[in-house]
């Protein structure tokens, strides 16, 4: 008899998720023959709750709870029943009782999180959900989607996740995977949408909230990111990843001292953490304290001898030049076994730089080349897409286009946009201008790229950009300009009349910038294409710049950039002021006077003493702009000329005609 009861209850239990009415019928039949059967009673009340009849189950569950006070599952179901009736206090008490009996009940933590949130106890709700997250694994039915994602088959991963989502899998897990797929594609809009949907379904999901904060930091939405981070810290105040996220956000919010204090605090707790030491070194470097940065990098290597980022940090500070023993250690590491992933790439670039400093150019290029090949293999990049964009830019932004919108845009003259390619001298120009009493230097602000991404839409429709800007109205352009100025205001701490936005990649958005700010200043930082190209090739960028890891692609990108700027010069003659790096180095006073004249600013001698400016410069050139101008780097590329033919071929006449227009 007992075996048949167990079989019926098993059938009822299996039907709970898909057919609670049938489960209730089976459990009721067992109770009819065996009144008071505890397991059947629990199943019946659970089924009734799922059918929306929780009120009728409360008396039964309370009696069962009194009869079995040591049963965690009974207390869990009692808590669920109270919760379904809106009795938050009783539900919380029952769920806490269940968890005292069995801490491993994942569902109880999830239910407790919901009840605490309803009671307004946000931090406690988030903490309970973290417990739930720690006890659950990825849904088995998403395994094939995760595998496809890990293999880089993003379309397959997306299709499989969508199929499982429609079939009833954990929606939060599926949405988190959709967000990861969008992030891999560089689709910020889709990533943000998926994360927001996940948080609507699971408001206490710290994983989704942390990823959303990371996205907002990347987009420069610092106030929003800090709001998310503060909530995360309420429930996990000692989380290393969240504290590092806050340090990043504070750095971008021009609160560098607060950000560094967080790193110092983490190091006090974890003095042997090599990654923290590298981060501290980077912060010290950007703040103009290279000696402290070198100490931090060396301490990181003492604790983790193969830390590639520490070696790369030392190389960027020219700290390996007079350290032959360190260079030999690097050589041995790479000869023995190149570390997997990013560490190995960093080591190759670091050794390339160290050997360049020692004038061992052939060996140096070999390691630069290896590092670039490793970096290039880690992402997808289509040079033809850039060329196609430039063609669309030229077709869209004509003289007629701007003439028809001549009275559009903001009257603001605050922004100074410095555009160009990386390693072209843009940070130097920023430092010169930021030394003027009427100009404030900020950083590479992300706000124009964010607007452009939104206007372009998802990747599948990006080919309609920038043509779709023709449909924007004057009011919409005005709104975009106001939004940009409001975002940039966060970085204007000194209240100067003008501020610099040195996001050099903004050259691709000059059409949009002209619509928004027809009176703003635009400066094109231009460097010899071979010199600029090789300077990019020997640089390991922290993110983006995917064109920079192949000499042919570098040449094609420079050619597209020059072609786009030619179009701007043609349709908006005199609008852009161009500074040639080589001219600036050769005759700084004349070029600075010419620059200030374009900006309608009086000459101030401190602009020639830019290296005395102690402002934080968070770019790869942070050390160079704290030194007087020097000429030895102008033709450094010529030492590598024997290996740069792919770059020269891709550039065509640009290299020979520089600085004249092609």
pLDDT band at 380 (very low <50, low <70, confident <90, very high): confident
Q: What is the pLDDT of residues 6-58, one digit of tens each?
A: 666 666 666 556 676 776 666 666 665 565 566 666 666 676 666 666 666 67
Residue 381 has what pLDDT?
Answer: 85
What is the chain's alpha carbon radius of gyration, rounded to the nearest angstrom?
Answer: 30
Residue 622 has what pLDDT?
Answer: 47
DSSP secondary structure of 354-385: HHHHTT-HHHHHHHHHHHHHHHHTTS---HHH
DSSP secondary structure of 493-558: -S--SEEEE--GGGGGGHHHHHHH-TTSEEEEEE--HHHHHHHHHT---SS--GGGGSHHHHHHHH
Q: Which two tokens stand for residue 636?
A: 């450094």
| pLDDT greater at residue 271 or residue 660 | 271
Q: What is the pLDDT of residues 438-474, one digit of tens each?
A: 999 988 898 999 899 889 887 666 678 999 999 999 9
Residue 531 pLDDT exceeds 90: yes
CA 159 to chain centre: 25
Residue 49 has what pLDDT?
Answer: 66
Domains of the chain by residue range: 2-135, 413-657
Q: What is the pLDDT of residues 304-355, one digit of tens each?
A: 888 899 999 999 998 988 788 888 888 888 887 777 778 889 999 999 999 9
- Residue among 285, 295, 121 at smallest CA distance from 621: 285
Residue 625 pLDDT exceeds 50: no
Cite the DSSP H helix spans in 274-382.
Answer: 274-286, 290-303, 308-316, 324-336, 341-357, 361-376
The bridge status of strand 498-501 relative to strand 521-526 is unpaired
Residue 120 has what pLDDT?
Answer: 93
Q: Which two tokens stand for residue 470?
A: 């023709």
What one-character DSSP code corresponds to residue 168?
T
Task: Map tokens 């605090």 to a residue.
Answer: 265
Q: What is the pLDDT of residues 475-517, one digit of tens each?
A: 999 999 999 999 999 889 888 999 999 999 999 999 999 999 9
Distance CA 172, CA 200 (A): 9
Q: Which two tokens stand for residue 249?
A: 């956000």
Q: Please tell me the class of the 413-657 domain.
A: alpha beta
Distance CA 32, CA 27 (A): 9
Q: How much of the chain, in percent, has pLDDT values that exceed 90? A: 61
Residue 37 has what pLDDT?
Answer: 62
pLDDT band at 186 (very low <50, low <70, confident <90, very high): confident
Q: Dihedral of the CA atoms 277, 280, 281, 287 (nearest 10)?
A: -170
Q: Which two tokens stand for residue 100?
A: 């005292």
- Average pLDDT of span 105-131: 93
Residue 98 has what pLDDT?
Answer: 92
Q: How much of the chain, in percent, has pLDDT values that exceed 70? A: 87
415-420 β-sheet, strand order: 439-443, 498-501, 415-420, 521-526, 576-580
Distance CA 279, CA 66 (A): 56
Residue 285 pLDDT exceeds 50: yes
- The answer for residues whose C-beta is within 8 angstroms of residue 330's C-beta and 6 or more apart is 311, 320, 347, 350, 351, 354
Q: Which two tokens stand for residue 637?
A: 């590329």
Residue 329 has what pLDDT?
Answer: 86
Tell me if 205 sits within 8 A of 172, measured CB to CB.
Answer: yes
Q: Highest-confidence range of 6-15, 218-227, 240-249, 254-263, by mean pLDDT?
A: 240-249
- Average pLDDT of span 235-255: 90
Distance CA 399, CA 26 (A): 78
Give the global pTM: 0.80
- Given the candidates 3.40.50.11540, 2.40.160.40, 1.25.40.10, 3.40.50.300, the CATH classification of the domain at 2-135 is 1.25.40.10
Task: Map tokens 């352009």 to a residue.
Answer: 477
Residue 631 pLDDT exceeds 80: no
Q: What is the pLDDT of residues 549-602, one digit of tens each?
A: 999 999 999 999 999 999 999 999 999 999 999 999 999 999 999 999 999 999
Q: What is the pLDDT of residues 560-570, one digit of tens each?
A: 999 999 999 99
Question: Please, what is the average pLDDT of the chain?
Answer: 88
Residue 260 has what pLDDT?
Answer: 86
Q: Which two tokens stand for residue 5?
A: 């009861």
- Residue among 160, 140, 139, 138 at smallest CA distance from 148: 160
Residue 448 has what pLDDT?
Answer: 95
What one-character DSSP code corresponds to residue 489?
G
Q: Which two tokens stand for residue 602?
A: 């009086």
Cite the DSSP H helix spans in 202-239.
Answer: 206-219, 222-235
Strand partners for 577: 523
Q: Which two tokens stand for residue 366?
A: 């070999």
Tell me if 417 sits within 8 A of 523, measured CB to CB.
Answer: yes
Residue 662 has what pLDDT?
Answer: 41
Residue 229 pLDDT exceeds 60: yes
Residue 87 pLDDT exceeds 70: yes
Q: Which two tokens stand for residue 25?
A: 């019928």
């Amino acid at each position: 008899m007992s075996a048949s009861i167990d079989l019926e209850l098993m059938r009822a239990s299996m039907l709970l998720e898909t057919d609670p009415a049938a489960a209730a019928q089976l459990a009721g039949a067992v109770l009819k023959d065996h009144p008071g059967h505890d397991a059947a009673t629990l199943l019946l009340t659970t089924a009734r709750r799922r059918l929306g009849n929780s009120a009728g189950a409360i008396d039964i569950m309370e009696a069962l709870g009194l009869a079995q006070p040591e049963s965690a599952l009974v207390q869990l179901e009692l808590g669920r029943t109270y919760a379904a009736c809106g009795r938050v206090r009783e539900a919380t008490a029952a769920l806490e009782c269940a968890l005292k009996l069995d801490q491993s009940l994942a569902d109880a933590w999830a239910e407790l999180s919901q009840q605490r949130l309803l009671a307004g106890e946000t931090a406690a709700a988030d903490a309970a959900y973290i417990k739930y997250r720690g006890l659950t694994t990825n849904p088995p039915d998403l395994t094939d989607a995760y595998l496809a994602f890990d293999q880089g088959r993003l379309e397959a991963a997306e299709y499989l996740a969508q199929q499982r989502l429609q079939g009833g899998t954990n929606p939060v897990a599926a949405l988190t995977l959709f967000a990861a797929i969008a992030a891999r594609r560089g689709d910020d809009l889709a990533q943000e949408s998926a994360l927001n949907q996940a948080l609507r379904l699971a408001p206490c999901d710290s994983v989704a909230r942390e990823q959303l904060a990371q996205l907002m930091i990347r987009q420069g939405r610092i106030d929003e990111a800090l709001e998310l981070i503060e909530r995360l810290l309420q429930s996990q105040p000692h989380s290393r990843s969240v504290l590092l996220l806050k340090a990043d956000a504070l750095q971008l919010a021009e609160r560098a001292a607060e950000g560094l204090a967080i790193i110092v605090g983490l190091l006090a707790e974890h003095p042997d953490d090599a990654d923290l030491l590298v981060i501290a070194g980077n912060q010290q470097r950007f703040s103009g304290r290279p000696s402290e940065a070198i100490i931090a990098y060396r301490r990181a290597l003492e604790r983790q001898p193969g830390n590639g980022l520490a070696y790369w940090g030392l190389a960027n500070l020219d700290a390996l030049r007079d350290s032959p023993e360190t260079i030999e250690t690097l050589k041995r590491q790479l000869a023995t076994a190149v570390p997997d992933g990013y560490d190995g790439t960093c080591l190759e670039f670091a050794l390339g730089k160290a050997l360049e400093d020692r004038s061992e150019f052939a060996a140096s290029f070999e390691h630069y080349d290896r590092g670039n090949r490793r970096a290039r293999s880690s992402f997808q990049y289509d040079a033809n897409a850039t060329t196609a964009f430039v063609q669309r830019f030229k077709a869209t932004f004509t003289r007629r286009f701007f003439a028809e919108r001549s009275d559009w845009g903001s009257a603001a003259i605050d922004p100074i946009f410095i555009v160009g390619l990386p390693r072209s001298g843009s940070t130097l120009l920023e430092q010169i201008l930021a030394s003027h009493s009427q100009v404030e230097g900020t950083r590479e602000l992300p706000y124009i790229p964010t607007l452009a991404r939104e206007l372009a839409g998802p990747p599948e429709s990006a080919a309609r950009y920038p043509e779709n800007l023709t449909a924007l109205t004057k009011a919409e352009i005005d709104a975009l300009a106001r939004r940009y100025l409001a975002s940039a205001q966060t970085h204007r701490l000194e209240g100067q009349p003008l501020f610099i936005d040195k996001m050099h990649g903004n050259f691709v958005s000059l059409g949009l910038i002209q619509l928004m700010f027809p009176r703003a200043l635009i400066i094109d930082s231009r460097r010899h294409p071979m010199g600029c190209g090789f300077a990019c090739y020997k640089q390991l960028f922290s993110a983006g710049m995917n064109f920079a890891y192949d000499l042919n692609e570098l040449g094609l990108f420079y050619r597209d950039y020059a072609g786009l700027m030619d179009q701007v010069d043609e349709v908006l003659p005199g609008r852009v002021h161009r500074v040639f790096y080589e001219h600036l180095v050769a005759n700084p006073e004349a070029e600075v006077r010419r620059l200030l004249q374009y900006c309608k600013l009086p000459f101030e001698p401190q602009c020639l003493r830019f290296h005395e400016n102690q402002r934080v410069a968070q770019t790869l050139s942070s050390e160079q702009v704290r030194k007087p101008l020097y000429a030895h780097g102008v033709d450094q590329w010529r030492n590598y000329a024997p290996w740069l033919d792919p770059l020269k071929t891709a550039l065509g006449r640009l290299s020979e005609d520089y600085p004249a227009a092609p």
